Structure 1
Amino acid sequence: MGYPENVLARDEHVVLHRHPHWKRLLGPALVLLVATALAAFGAGWVNQTDWDVNAKRIIFGVIAALWLVLVGWLSIWPFLTWWTTHFVITDRRVMFRHGLLTRSGIDIPLARINSVEFKHGVLDRMLRTGTLIIESASQDPLEFYDIPRVEQVHSLLYHEVFDTLDSEESPS
């Protein structure tokens, strides 16, 4: 899925577009599996009882409602939040957008970036992800968590900043 072109300036080109790393979806996927297994077990147990048909229907409805609330809140919502989180590098700026109902974001012009760092622990290194830290001229450092292939992104962003500074300093 490409980043929407309507947020780009004229002649601005996307160099990199990433969602957070898929590791953010492991917990929601586990919740989906466990909640589904428990709901199926509960429905199977209720089905084996000698209860009245109407009582069984009510209990099936309660099980389905609980499953829907759990899965919606702990699986679907985190997935949609992941899907609507964008880390974008263009030839002019770094953009970060997130949020499903309430959107927020930040843009950092490449010319204003002072330093770019990354950090990742052992698990992050195995999963090829990490935290990207961008320090700009007027702000405290900004940390962007769970950036896939953070070392490549770091290198790419460094080169984009360097190219931007070179093009501003050299006479046209």
Structure 2
Amino acid sequence: MAARAHPDVPKELDRYLIPSEQIIFEIRRHKILLAEPFLSTVLAFVLALMVDNWLNGSAPVLRNIMYGLALVVLARFVYKWTDWYRELFLATDRRLMLVYGIFTRKVAIMPMSKVTDMRYDRTIPGQVFGYGKYILESAGQDQALSVINFVPDPDRHYQEISAVIFGSGAGRDSRTGMVSSGSGGALPVNEPENLWWNRK
């Protein structure tokens, strides 16, 4: 069996990458995406148990309906978790790639050479929970991958992508194979103004 060109990423990604591509990072989106489905599942089972206790053995049909609805909400959570787990956001020295889909796998690609500008937004919840959104502008045409939301550790990943797109003279760590941001200069970040902790 031939050695894998990219042993540090899931085996599935090898079919989408060429051997000469250098991996910058490979991540899943922030787990905040799972907060609502998880809380909904907990609430559904709490309500089902409360109704079961309140009926005290009577109205078995209603109790079965409540537990059935709770199981539907649980199935929704499992689906959302599987969708989150199967989705991978990958950056190489040549392109950005989003691999997603549970049953039908889809690949959205943005070549680095097509990116003319990159905006980085962090809302107040994003600053609190540690995620951000990247908005990519391309030369002359709409691309399949133009908005990337819920990116974890967004400051570091923004610098790594910017180092490739805008040629900041970044080097690559020979031990990890990761691109460093190089110059360490300030990069533009859009954050809400007049935050209470910045007021004087």
TM over 0.5: yes
Unaligned 5+ runs, structure 1: 167-172
The residue correspondences of 1:33-112 to structure 2 (distance < 5 A) are: 33-46=42-55, 48-49=56-57, 51=58, 56=60, 58-73=61-76, 75-112=77-114
Whether contact under 8 Å (2:122, 2:133) holds in the other structure is yes
Whether contact under 8 Å (1:110, 1:164) holds in the other structure is no
1:125 deviates by 1.4
1:169 aligned partner? none
Unaligned 5+ runs, structure 2: 1-7, 171-200
1:157 aligned partner? 161
> Residue 19 of structure 1 aligns to which amino acid in structure 2?
R
**Higher-helix-fraction structure:** 1
| 1:101-151 deviation per Cα after TM superposition (whole angstroms, max 9, x unaligned) | 343332122222222220111221122211101122233471111111222
Whether contact under 8 Å (1:111, 1:164) holds in the other structure is no
Distance, in Å, in 2 between the alignment partners of 1:26 and 1:2 is 26
Q: How many residues align?
A: 159
> Residue 66 of structure 2 aligns to which amino acid in structure 1?
I
2:36 aligned partner? 27
2:185 aligned partner? none
With a CA cutoff of 8 Å and minimum separation of 6, indicate the structure with the bigger relative contact order. Answer: 1
1:9 deviates by 0.9
1:27 deviates by 0.6
Q: TM-score under structure 2 normalisation?
A: 0.68
1:165 deviates by 9.8
Q: Secondary structure at the match of 1:100?
A: coil
